Structure formats: structure tokens, C-alpha cells
Amino acid sequence: MAQQSMSMEARTGRSNQRYGSQGERLVAGVVPLSADKYYVLLIQSTRRGGWVLPKGGWETDEATAQDAACREAWEEAGIICKITYDLGIVPERRKPEQLTSQAPKAAYHFFEAVVEKQEAQWPEMHKRGRQWMTYAQAAQALAERPELLDALNRCTMHR
């Protein structure tokens, strides 16, 4: 995929958000791996602390979920990555009482990606840390987020 010019502005709001046939928010994300596939890059969640995979809404001006996933990886993690596998759609795993208007029901389309470049400055650098983790560390960090753990478990990283 040709890399679009990398904006230092993170997109905000949901006016261009895509929704599925059941009204679920369509979310695209990456499982960003090191070239040797021994490490995965996790980022801090801005909502609850803790660690998450880079992901966010697939917007109407993006042709593919891959485009959205790569944009989110840039905005949230400051990485330029190359998608290597389509990990498929991970269904919503949160219980109804965990869903809010800020975090509505979603369908997550994850892609495995190799990190080609990690920039020192990125749009959400003031809001999020990022950390390379082994599979065991990442699986523990994502234990409270079954949809993210599912995406991690679908990827080809070394266990």
C-alpha cells in the first residue's frame, strides 16, 4: 500500500464512521510485529490505562479496512507498517453492560503487520506510551480484552 502523507493530526469524532448491517461500528486494527516475529508492539489505552493493539474506526473515505488499520497504527503507535496477513473479523466480546455510547458494539477487523519504521514523533505520542512485548507478556496484558487477545492468538508471532 502506498503510504499516504503522514499527518501529525489524529482524526477525531465519528462523523465518517462506517457501520455494519447490524449497526455495529466497523473497527480496523493491526497486530504490529517485529521483523523476526518475536515481539508485538502494544500501546497504552487512553480510556482505561492498560495495554491495547492499535485500532480504530474504519472511515468512509478509506477504501479498505487495511487503509484504516495502517492509519490507526500511525496515529496511535507512530509506526509505519506493512500488512502481511488478514486475521479476519473478531466479533464483539464485551458484555452488554460494558458497552457505552463512547464504546458501542463493534466488529473488529484485524491484520497482522510487520513494523517497518517506528517514528520518534507521532500524533498521539502525548496520550500513549508504546512497548514491545513477547507473546507471553502481551497475552497477559490483553487478558481483560478478549477480542484483542483473539487477534493476537490468530497472528503468526513466535509463542
pLDDT tens column, 75-133: 999 999 999 999 999 988 888 888 887 777 899 999 999 999 999 999 999 999 999 99
Does residue 1 surpass a pLDDT of 60?
Answer: no
Q: How far apart are CA 19 and CA 90, in angstroms?
A: 15
Environment class of residue 22 by beta-carbon count within 10 Å: exposed (0-12), middle (13-18) or buried (19+)? exposed
62 phi, psi to nearest 5 deg: -105, 125
Which tens digit of pLDDT belongs to each residue from 42-64?
999 987 789 999 999 999 999 99
Q: Which amino acid is at 91?
A: P
Q: Chain-wide mean pLDDT for the chain? A: 92
Domain assignment of residue 52, yes or no: yes
Structure confidence at residue 101 (pLDDT): 79
Q: How many domains does the chain have?
A: 1
Residue 39 belongs to what domain range? Answer: 25-154
The CATH number covering residue 78 comes to 3.90.79.10
Please give the pLDDT value at position 15: 80
In a domain, 137, yes or no: yes
